[in-house]
Structure 1
Amino acid sequence: MGRNPKGRSFLLLLSLCVLSSLVPIHGKKQGDVLHSINSRVYRQKGLKEKDLIKRLPGQPPIEFNHYGGYVTIDELAGRAFYYYFAEARRNKDSMPLLLWLNGGPGCSSFGIGAMQELGPFRVHSDGKTLYRNKFAWNIAANVLFLESPAGVGFSYSNTTADYRTNGDSKTAEDNYVFLLNWLERFPEYKNRDFFISGESYAGHYVPQLAHNILFNNKKANKTIINLKGIIIGNAAINSETDERGMYEYFATHALISQETWYAIQKYCDFLPNATQVSQCKSAKLDAENEVFPHIDIYDIYAPRCLSFNLTSRPKKTNIMELDPCGEYYVHAYLNREDVQEALHANVTKLDHDWEECREVIHPWGDSPPTVLPLLQEFMSNGLRVCVYSGDTDGRLPVTSTQRSLSKMGLPTKSPWRPWFLGGEVGGYVQVYEGDLTFATVRGAGHKVPISRPGRALSLISHFLAGSLLPYK
């Protein structure tokens, strides 16, 4: 697949709009799923040692261990997921375990999440060397990145049909199988406090995986995985309000004309499976033409990448300043043979270059129009839930998240207030009864740890510690 920076956002937008009309999850009987899962836990002895990454090409010195490799998900199908794991910089034996998932569906948690957002390294503009991310989340946790489903990033399957049968249910089941096997490979984390995090379409992945963990813990009448909470950012959680809030954001941020906004409000029904009249389709097309060709919809005030070429020498870096071309540096780095060898990434099985986001996993099989009932389930089971929103994201914006959470009808426990970092407002926060926290990150786009890394680290640190975001 060729790289199309202008078209990718639009394609992902269209895929999510299509997904919202598909069938609900959990088509299999839960007993059948549990039997299937138990038969897919494989021997892991000696594999942790093989996965240790000795040194990545161009890597600066580090004071922690990191690992990369494959976990078999289905031996018969030859389906295996790639993971990258960075131990905490300090006190790894007492720090929690945090899983990170990117969305899409089809986008790489390693190439985006680890290499561009919250991992320990960033890639220089030469595409050959790395520098430290001083706001990496392994300051606050042992951080695990998972590439799923098969076909995403370095993950693969030897069964071609696997690429045509992906969907929410299968991904949730496979992700749970991954965790069971990974914990056998790294048994010291079996009883560790465990949290799941992610962004965008991981607004589906994270709650569905958490639901499977709760179900199987209850089914076994013991704690198989010690899940304590979830945190999702700029997340797809309720298709009606996600889409309605997106156009509302366009209008309130002067991205579309008032005439277009009036037409959308008058003619469009955002309910799942609603039949859209021609006037609605026309108004939405007008909005797309007014917005998508001109700005980065995922960070409306960010600069755009004007040159996709690498530099012969690394440009001077400042982790606090967004480099809009960073994804191209990562693409070049992860397609180097020596890098893939160091990462233990078996690209010969992939039969394609590494890509940030891939369409190989489409068509997508199932996607519920809402995951709000799952958030209710977690609250009733004592899990901590945090939903955050970078407030310059136009794709799954703060207006969408606010509209979605309002559907839950939760009473307010702690009213809306600013939170601070370094004497400045980092964003705003509100806590609802049941301990669901909604937080904004000021000046951050869709990928919060890229545009506001310090604020992102403060947010995740307070969430993992179970403490309130600071007021001055």
Structure 2
Amino acid sequence: MGKAICFVLLSFHIILSLFVAEICGNKQVGALDNLHKSKLRGGSQIDRSEFKVEEFVHDDDDDDAVIVHSQKGLKEKDKIERLPGQPQVKFSQYGGYVTIDKVAGSAFYYYFVEAQRSKQSLPLLLWLNGGPGCSSLAYGAMQELGPFRVNSDGKTLYRNNYSWNYAANVLFLESPVGVGFSYSNRSSDYSSNGDKKTAVDNYLFLVNWLERFPEYKNREFYISGESYAGHYVPQLAHTILQFNKKARKTIINLKGILIGNAVINDETDSKGMYDFLASHAIISEKAAYDINKSCDFSSSNQTSECNAASDEIDKDISFIDLYNIYAPVCKNSNLTAHPNKISIVIDPCSENYVYAYLNRGDVQEALHANVTHLKYDWEPCSDVITKWVDSSSTVLPLITQFLSNGLRVWIFSGDIDGRVPVTSTKYSIDKLNLPIQTVWHPWFAYGEVGGYTEVYKGNLTFATVRGAGHQVPSYQPARALSLIKHFLQGTPLPQTKTIA
């Protein structure tokens, strides 16, 4: 099952073949890079207007009710007894499908792990990966914050000692349709995905999933994610708030959001990326100056000078992992006969191991996945999504709304990510013009500096994670676990060495 990870970057039909990866790398960075370039390309058809909640199709008997399908008996059927090659654990895990649209025959796949202790009282946390078009099962669950990681043999699993289900009951979702095991029987759905439709479908998934797991209906609920989930997470949160308001009751008990190395504002995201690369001696100061001068990152009409500057920069970054500028790259994508020695830090070839594992028939059967026998392999990032129709240029107005509604908002950055780097996030937060409540200072985890943090009035916390790339829990799992614990507890990141 060994499959090379040297991928041509995820190609949408709306996108020209702009950049071919020279290294064995992460498909997420390819998906995000292609969307970014397609939005800047002249004649782009992607709608970049401000995000607004789309109307739902309602039940005939109640114009205000979102469709909730019967979930009777489905929770018990979704329980996973044991995954192939899995070490013994004491918590319960579930996997299965939630119908989104019966007419279209569309359904989202989820994987859920209950907390390792105090599952009755700990909150419910949803994790979303981005892309767009990339799987939260591939990355979040199997390479970042889930309870297991895949060995180099592609057959067995080992424990992640810093899994986030030490802090919460964690739900992973493959979204939208066409991502991972999530599917639609209506082929046109694969060319109509975008921000608005994803938010709608994610909300429909949630209200139906909570019907299946009613014990979590009134539980404190948080949404987290990274990368292009910087769109998904705020847009879903906004949708929840809108429908809670419309119903005049708490349908989903949303308390806060947490986003990492997040795409949140096109103009500052782009400028920050090039400034970061120049400051870390990956591109020249002249290249950063040229692209900032010649490109209008808020527009889809770029000059030939902008395109030339972009092409020159692509040459400089082609041979490194942009998601962690100091990380080794995968040089041998083959599986091994016996598992390699386990390391806390993620193996650069892990994506290949996950691909092999999740395409095994016995694994899919244990996960209750691929029940319709899809005509294509499970992939970490979708090969069947052919178009992305809308991608708002900013989600900053949504963050402002959350702060005014009393939601907890934390934004974190792995400080050696080159794709959505700390400079991008700092530039974006500056756009909010928030007064500083707690000035910039180091925070500590396990006796060391975990990163740096600043708190703003209105309940917004910004934190860096020292030595982490784009997928923070992959590179710094202990610091990431400390971060999520403090976020969920609503406590400041520790300023002393004695607190984890």
State the match for 2:127 in structure 1: 100
1:315 aligned to 315, 340, 345, which one? Answer: 340
2:324 aligned to 299, 310, 327, which one? Answer: 299
Distance 1:33-1:282 versus aligned 2 partners, 3 A rule: farther
For residue 346 of structure 1, report the CA deviation from its aligned partner. Answer: 1.9
Distance 1:30-1:75 versus aligned 2 partners, 3 A rule: closer
Distance 1:33-1:13 versus aligned 2 partners, 3 A rule: farther
Q: Contact (CA 8 Å) 1:19, 1:366: kept in 2 or not?
A: no
2:6 aligned to 4, 7, 10, which one? Answer: 4
Residue identity in the other structure for 2:6: N
For residue 17 of structure 1, report the CA deviation from its aligned partner. Answer: 3.2
State the match for 2:43 in structure 1: none
Matches within 5 A, 1:124-273: 124-273=151-300
CA distance in 1, matches of 2:63, 2:183: 20
CA distance in 1, matches of 2:64, 2:195: 16
Residue identity in the other structure for 1:276: Q
1:90 aligned to 110, 117, 121, which one? Answer: 117
1:399 aligned to 410, 423, 427, which one? Answer: 423
Q: Contact (CA 8 Å) 1:25, 1:366: kept in 2 or not?
A: no
SS at 1:235 equivalent: coil
Residue identity in the other structure for 1:16: H
For residue 276 of structure 1, report the CA deviation from its aligned partner. Answer: 2.0
Q: Deviations over 1:427-471 (max 9, x none)?
A: 000001101000000000000000000000000000000001011
CA distance in 2, matches of 1:449, 1:3: 21
State the match for 1:284 in structure 2: 310
1:442 aligned to 462, 466, 475, which one? Answer: 466
Segment of structure 1 superposing worse, 219-228 or 278-287? 278-287
Q: Deviations over 1:86-134 (max 9, x none)?
A: 0000000000000000000110001111011000000111110011000
CA distance in 2, matches of 1:50, 1:11: 34
State the match for 2:486 in structure 1: 462
Matches within 5 A, 1:317-396: 317-319=342-344, 321-346=345-370, 348-396=372-420
CA distance in 2, matches of 1:242, 1:337: 40
1:420 aligned to 444, 447, 466, which one? Answer: 444
CA distance in 2, matches of 1:228, 1:361: 32
CA distance in 1, matches of 2:38, 2:468: 27
Q: Percent identity?
A: 62
Q: Contact (CA 8 Å) 1:419, 1:428: kept in 2 or not?
A: yes
Q: Extract unaligned runs of 5+ from structure 2.
A: 9-20, 22-26, 41-45
Distance 1:28-1:391 versus aligned 2 partners, 3 A rule: closer
Q: Extract unaligned runs of 5+ from structure 1.
A: none
State the match for 1:52 in structure 2: 79
Which segments of structure 1 move beyond 6 Å, counting only runs of 4 or more?
Answer: 31-37
State the match for 1:13 in structure 2: 33
Higher share of residues assigned helix: 1
State the match for 2:17 in structure 1: none
TM-score by length of 2: 0.91
For residue 10 of structure 1, report the CA deviation from its aligned partner. Answer: 4.1
Distance 1:37-1:166 versus aligned 2 partners, 3 A rule: farther
Residue identity in the other structure for 1:420: F
Residue identity in the other structure for 1:82: Y
Q: Deviations over 1:351-409 (max 9, x none)?
A: 11110011422310111100000000000000000000001100000010001111111
SS at 2:80 equivalent: coil
SS at 1:259 equivalent: helix
The root-mean-square deviation of aligned C-alpha atoms, in Å, is 1.8
For residue 278 of structure 1, report the CA deviation from its aligned partner. Answer: 1.6
TM-score by length of 1: 0.96
For residue 258 of structure 1, report the CA deviation from its aligned partner. Answer: 2.4
In the alignment, does 2:140 pair up with 1:120? no
Q: Contact (CA 8 Å) 2:144, 2:473: kept in 1 or not?
A: yes
Q: Deviations over 1:181-234 (max 9, x none)?
A: 000000000000000000000000000100011011111111110000000000
For residue 281 of structure 1, report the CA deviation from its aligned partner. Answer: 1.4
CA distance in 2, matches of 1:28, 1:470: 37
CA distance in 1, matches of 2:358, 2:84: 10
For residue 76 of structure 1, report the CA deviation from its aligned partner. Answer: 0.7
Distance 1:439-1:26 versus aligned 2 partners, 3 A rule: closer
SS at 1:298 equivalent: coil
Q: Contact (CA 8 Å) 2:54, 2:200: kept in 1 or not?
A: no
